[in-house]
């Protein structure tokens, strides 16, 4: 049972900060509430005031900015992202990922910003966003700032966001000509046990650069530059990518995984290698389409 709390429903950023000040800091922001309300039900958090951000227009919508980057409002639901023609065109790997987040109820209610800000170690989007070089925009009564995903998630259920900051949007740089992104995961229950995001740049018959992010099996999504380096110069065909993924596997052995109900640490590292190959193949396919 959820302990009693006050509920504020601002319709602007200014009203939201007014509600925060009125609560004396004993407050929490929420949009979908799929994570926070569960934590409160379990008695793991007590909040005097919940500030509902669903009515803030600044947190809604999907657009492309002047640099061609995809900008997604933090209050945009997983379902909206999944069904967005703009996302399907600009970042098809994200649209495909969102179609398999948790279950339909969560996708209809949960938001991308809430998912990222909660920093659940088994989050789907965070791994792909990290591989894509995404950043988050934050605003508070004191300042506005932007942080790369690599600096935003700092631990399990922990981010660099200050308590009075609102996560406004997520910005994903546009894929260049010859660049593609891929995502693959393995899950045995509702959340992924291992996830892999890959961004890969192809010129001619060769891959010339890559970014590899591994998530879910570690406390936070992590970049593995040594694994990414294995793709440099690889032939951009199925055989070449498979060989590069095989060469990258030793660099996944040092990942700090734990034995749990999803399997042993060694099994998860093995899965990471398998998923790396799948995600890289998908990235090459998109890169070819963008050539």
For residue range 177-219, list pLDDT tens digits in order: 999 999 999 998 888 999 999 999 999 999 999 999 999 999 9
pLDDT digits (tens, 9 = 90+) for 246-278: 999 999 998 999 899 899 999 999 999 999 999
| Length of the chain as a residue count | 291
Under a CB-based contact definition with an 8 Å cutoff, are residues 160 and 154 in contact?
A: yes
* H helices, E strands: number in the chain: 12, 14
- Rounded CA-CA distance 125/39 in Å is 20
Query: Mean pLDDT, to the nearest integer, of 80-92?
Result: 98
Answer positive or negative: Cα dihedral of 4, 6, 11, 14.
Answer: negative
Q: Is the pLDDT confidence value at 239 over 80?
A: yes
pLDDT digits (tens, 9 = 90+) for 5-64: 899 999 999 999 999 999 998 999 988 877 777 767 666 667 899 999 999 999 999 999
User: Any idea what the Cα angle at residue 262 is, between residues 180 and 99, rounded to 5°?
Assistant: 40
Give all strands (DSSP E) within 80-227, no chain letters.
135-139, 144-148, 153-155, 158-159, 166-172, 179-187, 192-203, 206-215, 222-223
Domains of the chain: 6-52 (3.30.43.10), 57-172 (3.30.465.10), 179-290 (3.30.390.50)
The kind and range of the H/E element at 28 are strand 27-30
* Cβ-based neighbour number of residue 68 at 10 Å: 11
Under a CB-based contact definition with an 8 Å cutoff, are residues 106 and 78 in contact?
A: yes
């Amino acid at each position: 049972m959820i302990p009693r709390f006050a509920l504020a429903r601002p319709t602007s950023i200014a009203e939201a900060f007014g509600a925060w000040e009125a609560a004396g800091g004993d407050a929490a922001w929420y949009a979908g509430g799929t994570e926070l309300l569960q934590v409160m039900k379990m008695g793991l958090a007590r909040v005097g005031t919940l500030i509902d951000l669903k009515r803030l227009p600044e947190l809604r919508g999907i657009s492309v900015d002047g640099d061609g980057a995809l900008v997604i409002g933090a209050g945009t639901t997983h379902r909206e992202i999944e069904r967005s023609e703009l996302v399907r065109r600009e970042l098809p790997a994200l649209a495909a990922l969102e179609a398999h987040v948790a279950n339909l109820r969560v996708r209809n209610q949960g938001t991308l910003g809430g998912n990222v800000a909660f920093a659940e170690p088994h989050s789907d989007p965070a791994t792909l966003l990290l591989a894509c070089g995404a950043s988050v925009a934050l605003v508070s009564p004191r300042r506005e700032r932007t942080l790369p995903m690599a600096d935003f998630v700092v631990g399990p259920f922990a981010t660099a966001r200050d308590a009075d900051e609102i996560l406004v949007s997520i910005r994903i740089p546009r894929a260049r000509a010859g660049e593609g992104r891929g995502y693959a995961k393995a899950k045995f229950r509702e959340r992924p046990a291992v996830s892999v995001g890959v961004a890969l740049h192809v010129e001619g018959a060769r891959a010339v650069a890559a970014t590899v992010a591994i998530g879910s099996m570690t406390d936070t999504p992590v970049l593995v530059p040594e694994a990414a380096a294995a793709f440099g110069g690889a032939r951009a065909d199925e055989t070449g990518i498979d060989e590069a993924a095989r060469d990258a596997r030793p660099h996944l052995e040092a990942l700090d995984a734990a034995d749990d109900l999803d399997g042993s640490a060694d099994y998860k590292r093995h899965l990471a290698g398998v998923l790396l190959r799948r995600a890289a193949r998908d990235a090459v396919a998109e890169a070819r389409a963008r050539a």
